[in-house]
Amino acid sequence: MIITFEELQAFLDEQFPQGEAYGTLQKLGDGWAEMKLDVDEAHLRPGGTVSGPAMMGLADVTLYAALLSKIGLVPLAVTTNLNINFLRKPVAHQPIWARATMLKVGRTMGVGEVFVYSEGAEDPVAHSTMTYSIPPNR
């Protein structure tokens, strides 16, 4: 790991302040990260479940954190592909959390996966795979 939790938190606060709407960083390791989203009415969809965009946003920012743990503070690393499978209904008024793991980090691309969980439930509510483009001359 080439950055610390504190360095990444400060970077996200400064460079990506809107990211807090997608979740807050909880843990960081070498090629992995965990984030949590406190679900409120803005994250719910009709039928009393957490919206897909809320889960996708959490997954995306969590993988970004995991990638940065490997490549450093690179603001222009961007998502180029995101695939998500919604596996089961999350609990409407419970936080959701995500654990992202980098599967491969190369010179120009990083690939990872994210599992999203509803707090208090053992099985994941969503699974995502993503590819990030890493800018040259980072």
CA dist., res. 83 & res. 92, Å (int): 23
138 secondary structure, DSSP code = -
- With cut-offs at 50, 70 and 90, classify the pLDDT of residue 121: confident
pLDDT band at 138 (very low <50, low <70, confident <90, very high): low
Domains of the chain by residue range: 5-133
Q: How far is CA 66 from CA 48, 91, 112, 121, in A?
A: 30, 25, 8, 23
Give the integer Cα–Cα distance in Å for 61 and 52: 14
Give domain 5-133's CATH architecture.
Answer: Roll (3.10)
pTM of the model: 0.94
Residue 80 confidence (pLDDT): 96
